[in-house]
Amino acid sequence: MLYVILIVLLLAFVSVSNYMASRNMERENNAIVNQAIPILTTANSLLTSLINQETGLRGYQLGGSEQFLEPYTTGREQVAMDLNTLSTYDKKYPTLQIIIDTQAVPAITNLQKYYDTTLELFRAGKIEEAKARVIGGKTLMDRYRVIHTSIENNIEQITSTAYEASQQAGQTSRLITLVGFLIALLAGGMSIIISLRSYQAEKELRKSEETYRYMAESLESQNEEIIAQQEEQQVTLAKLSERERDLELISSYQEKLTGYVKLADFLKHTLPALLNSLVQDAALVVLENRSENGASSYEIIHSIGYPKGHIQASRSELFGPARRVFDEGVAITHTRDVTGNEQGVHNGMTRAIDHYIPLTDDKLEVIGFLLLTSYQSSLYQDDNQRLTKGLVRQFGLAFYAQVVNDEKLKQAESLALLNDQLTAEKLLLEGQHDLIQNILESAHEGMMMCDSEGTILFSNHRMNQYFALNERIGENLVSCSSEIVAESPSFHGVAASIEALIDRSLSHLTQRFSFQQDEQLQHAELYATVVSEGTEQQGYLFVFRDRTEEERVDEMKNEFISIVSHELRTPLASVLGFIEILLHRDLPQEKQKRYMETIYNEAQRLSNLINDFLDLQRMESGRQSYNFAPIHLQSLVTEIAEQWQDKQLHQIIVHQQEPELWVRADVDRIRQVFDNLISNAIKYSPAADHIDIHLLTQDGKVTIAIQDYGLGIPPEANEHMFSKFFRVDNSDRRQIGGTGLGLAIVKEIVEGHGGHISYTSEMGHGTTFRIELDQYEISGLDGKIVIFEDDDNLAKLIQVALHKLSLPSIQLRSAEEGMIALRRCEGEGPVLFIVDIHLEGEKTGWDFIADLYKHPVHAQTPVIVSTALDPPHDYHEKEIEKYLKKPFTMERLVQVAKRLLDNKSSLAYVFPAQNKEALSTTLERNGINVLKMQENQDMIEVDIIKPPSDK
């Protein structure tokens, strides 16, 4: 009984354990098949539904038809179903629940809100605002793709965990079987022992053995079933992996459907992804082009995968399946034999399947077709037909969107070009308008434009200064003229003429008149011309010319003629009168001399008057030249004062602040300035007995103040004091002669020297004229190379070149400056002079060289004569002097300067180019021993041996 019980228990244990292991493995496998795979399918369906919503929304955006929203509506319903399906696994998989509840659901909600809002914008007609949200939608979809990847990773983890549990169940089953086997061995041993003890139990034991065999066979069949289930699970995992790869290809393909600017870039990136997703080998896109006359041509805008030269880029007509696609608007599949290069490098491809897929616009009219070619399999497989149609449809929508976008880009480029042209024309018109406006505004005349009815259209600022017409643009000119007459009665005649002109009773208008403005009498001339006569834009241009200055000039001219007549006739009458007396009367010698002196003085007066006229004319024409040179101001002013004190009763007192003042000026013209100012001071201070002249210096400026104590200048004459022919007209000055040219000449001369003239005056107390000039500082020459050159650019170039000699240099513009600086030189003196012949001032470079050779200390300083003139006939170069004719190179100048500086400290002679042997013989005959001779371009340098007596 123990044996039987043991066997029964063993068999029951093995059966139960095998049953439990089998159920466990079956449960884990069912978990994979019934839970993991549906979850993954639901997640992928959720992504596909969202993509379908986006596709439907884009189709509606491009086509504008509600039928394109079918994928959008279907996808929205499918999303709700998929989310409901996923919620059933929440308790089973907490991690998946967290991802779905915290990430996926909010992201899907945001996408749904984005799609709803975008759809509302499209339906409301806010296309541009909806398009501006495209980037935001793409960002939301990219975020959900990341969340979808997290869900797939979690599902993969769940599947992996279930698979590991299944493996563990199989190991547990094998372990239980092994344990049962060991127990069976133990039971067999015990049965032998028991069989020896009890023969009677043999039949029961055999029966038990048969039962055991049956159970073992049952266990073996169960084990085979488990192995079959494992193989089925592996096939399922392979399908899941393949599905995942397909989804990745589809996702990559869909990502490449958007984001391109040009159609060529779209096709270049999209077609390879489409071929990979559909497992096709080649593709091309044909687009129909229609001309203005209705003729069509067909162009292959892109192809991939076909042999080179196999595709004809353009055709004028189509036939066969390609023609049927355009006529019928449906997809057509065509099988053909492969020939030529399409057979491949191994000639192994014999058959090709072509799939012609129509491409339509928003009106569902065929605009082209997509040709997909497979050399291995068919495009439309039963298990993949729905997905293939969806991908191809997405390509068609995206392609049409890209075609539309490409056309818009071309239109935008055309519009941009047209806009640039219009902008350029606008700028040109604006420039012309501004130019005309500036011309009108810069004109010295007032201008006003009105139409044929008298309506004021334009008024420049000159016209506004007088009549403020810019505030009355659009009003009637006749009415404005009547209002002006009320303020200025003298305008009555002009107003009447304007009215007659606009009424066409007057053909032209030219009229002069006067009016008061700012308590001053103004003279003007108004004339009008017809603009665009005989056209619809006919109008009148009124030109207002201010003649006040002309009237003043005419008045001054008349006054000048009167003055000149008086100034010329008075001395001329005196000259003629006294000459007539001398010719017709016998007079004593003393009277004759007195009359002759009077004639001389009057002739001198006439000469000065004529010289003033000539000087002023020369200055105004720009032909006045100045010989600038340093002037010792105190000496010049003192000399002029002494000359005047001999002729007049006024005492001229010179006050100087500094012991020595120098200026650069033309001495004759500065003398003319002082003579005019002193003459005026004497004439206009008849009751005074002296005139003060102050010489002051401050901040590099020299001020000469000439002060009289006479009549003074009235304030109203201030703005005209330096004008030509102006003289103060009052009873105190009528007996004082003059032409009114003196101060004008003085001002021209002072400004020609870069100076400034001004005056202060007090009626009855006198006037002070002040002249301000730049102070001149005498340059030091010690240890420097002195360059006499009045061309500043050439002087700077020479100074830059001489930097190679490491010696300082200085530029002087006149020979007088060099003479003064040389006389004051007390140190080592200059090392070299570079002298131009023509300089500022009256003296030339030859004058300076002559003065240099008379200097007791620096007469042996080397000199380079730099000039464009040929040397004089009697000129001979000296040992310390070199003649360079312009133009010459700076290298040549530096070379000559260096030799002269070297020769200054050595015994050497310079001779003109000649026969070297004859020169050497001549020198030795005269007792000069030659050490070395060096021949250059136009001279010979000779180094001599110093005689012993000279040591």
Residue-wise pLDDT for 32-47, tens only, equals 556 667 777 877 887 7
**For residue 382, is pLDDT > 60?**
no
- Quickly list H helices, 443-521: 461-467, 477-487, 492-502
**For residue 906, is pLDDT > 60?**
no
**Amino acid found at 490:** S
> pLDDT band at 907, cuts 50/70/90?
very low
pLDDT digits (tens, 9 = 90+) for 823-876: 888 777 888 898 888 888 788 888 888 888 888 778 788 888 888 777 776 666
What are the tokens at 372?
């997909």
Max intra-chain CA distance, the chain:
211
Sort strands 296-304 and 314-315 into parallel, antiparallel or unpaired: antiparallel
Distance, in Å, from the CA atom of 306 to the CA atom of 282, rounded to the nearest integer, reads 6
CA-to-CA dists, residue 864 to 591, 787, 849, 893, 901, angstroms: 63, 10, 10, 9, 11
Distance, in Å, from the CA atom of 781 to the CA atom of 855, rounded to the nearest integer, reads 14
Distance, in Å, from the CA atom of 273 to the CA atom of 586, rounded to the nearest integer, reads 135
**Amino acid found at 107:** A
Which whole number is the average pLDDT over 66-72? 76
DSSP 131-176: HHTHHHHHHHHHHHHHHHHHHHHHHHHHHHHHHHHHHHHHHHHHHH
Distance, in Å, from the CA atom of 342 to the CA atom of 812, rounded to the nearest integer, reads 92
pLDDT digits (tens, 9 = 90+) for 662-719: 888 888 888 888 888 888 888 888 878 889 999 998 888 999 999 988 888 887 777 7
CA dihedral 62, 63, 69, 71 (to 10 degrees): -70
pLDDT digits (tens, 9 = 90+) for 771-812: 999 888 888 888 888 998 888 888 888 888 888 888 888 888
Distance, in Å, from the CA atom of 754 to the CA atom of 412, rounded to the nearest integer, reads 62
3-state secondary structure of 76: helix
Percentage of the chain beyond pLDDT 90 is: 2
